[in-house]
């Protein structure tokens, strides 16, 4: 199965409502990751205080615009997108944990529940074979696409899905480095903070 064309999918969804455009600058410290991880990165820590971009529809508009998703930033889209984020968080941060009865991971079940709200239909166009993404409710579009993207990442580079190694960071990234040894969401922030902490610890010991 080929990749879903995210742009054409959301263009069709946008036809059902006027897109909401936000002029607010995206405040997140890490952007531009694959859609699934970018959705997870709507939560971060700043000066020791948890931050959440998706506390209201204004923040949702910022996230949708950042990812080229032309949908109205309304309460229904926000609710479904948060459900998808919670499902991704459960599966990405708990992939090694199983239920005590040996049943599938809770996170896996929650991703399945999100994916159940859409499907991919094979089509034949004048240009050749294609795919069309269909949703029972267009408001599930962004969350479904994020869940779908997570499956794509699992299929291509599961060992490159990373959580920042800094103990106080909650950000995720796809390690695209040649040798696959990236540890930090940003060397300029978390990487340097870790170096400073180690230096302080050595100085204190001396």
Which of 38-47, 50-59, 178-187 bottoms out in mean pLDDT, i.e. has the lowest? 178-187
Percent with pLDDT over 70 in the chain: 75
Predicted local confidence at residue 97, as pLDDT: 43
For 84-95, what is the mean pLDDT? 88
Helix or strand holding residue 40 (H, E): helix 35-40
What is residue 197's predicted lDDT score, i.e. its pLDDT? 52
Confidence at 186, pLDDT banded by 50, 70, 90: confident
Taking the CA atoms of residue 145, residue 147, residue 149 and residue 152 in that order, the dihedral angle to the nearest 10 degrees is -140
pLDDT in tens, 90-149: 999 775 344 334 544 588 999 999 999 999 999 999 999 999 999 989 999 999 999 999
List the structure tokens of 127: 């240009």
pLDDT at 130: 94
Statement: residue 188 has pLDDT above 60: yes
More confident residue, 13 or 28: 28
Q: Find out whether 73 and 22 touch, Cβ atoms under 8 Å.
A: yes
pLDDT at 103: 47
**Domains plus CATH for the chain?**
6-161 (1.10.3300)
Q: What is the pLDDT of residue 104?
A: 47
Residue 191 has pLDDT above 90, yes or no: no
63-90: b (≥16 Cβ within 10 Å) or e: bbbbbebbbbbeeebbebbbbbbebbbb
**Mean pLDDT over the full length of the chain:** 83
Mean pLDDT of 147-167: 95
């Amino acid at each position: 199965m080929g990749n879903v064309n995210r742009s054409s999918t959301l263009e069709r969804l946008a036809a059902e409502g006027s897109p909401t455009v936000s002029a607010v600058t995206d405040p997140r410290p890490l952007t531009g990751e694959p859609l699934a991880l970018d959705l997870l990165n709507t939560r971060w820590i700043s000066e020791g205080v948890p931050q959440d971009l998706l506390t209201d529809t204004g923040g949702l508009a910022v996230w949708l615009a950042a990812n080229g998703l032309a949908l109205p930033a309304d309460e229904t889209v926000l609710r479904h997108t948060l459900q998808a984020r919670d499902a991704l968080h459960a599966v990405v941060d708990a992939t090694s944990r199983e239920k005590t009865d040996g049943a599938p991971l809770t996170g896996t079940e929650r991703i399945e529940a999100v994916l159940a709200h859409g499907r991919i239909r094979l089509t034949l166009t004048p240009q050749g074979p294609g795919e069309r993404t269909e949703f029972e409710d267009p408001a599930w579009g962004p969350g479904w696409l994020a869940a779908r993207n997570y499956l794509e990442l699992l299929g291509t580079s599961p060992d490159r899905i990373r959580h920042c190694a800094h103990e106080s960071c909650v950000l995720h990234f796809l390690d695209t480095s040649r040798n696959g040894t990236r540890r930090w969401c940003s060397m300029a922030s978390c990487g340097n903070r870790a170096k400073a902490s180690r230096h302080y610890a050595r100085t204190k010991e001396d």
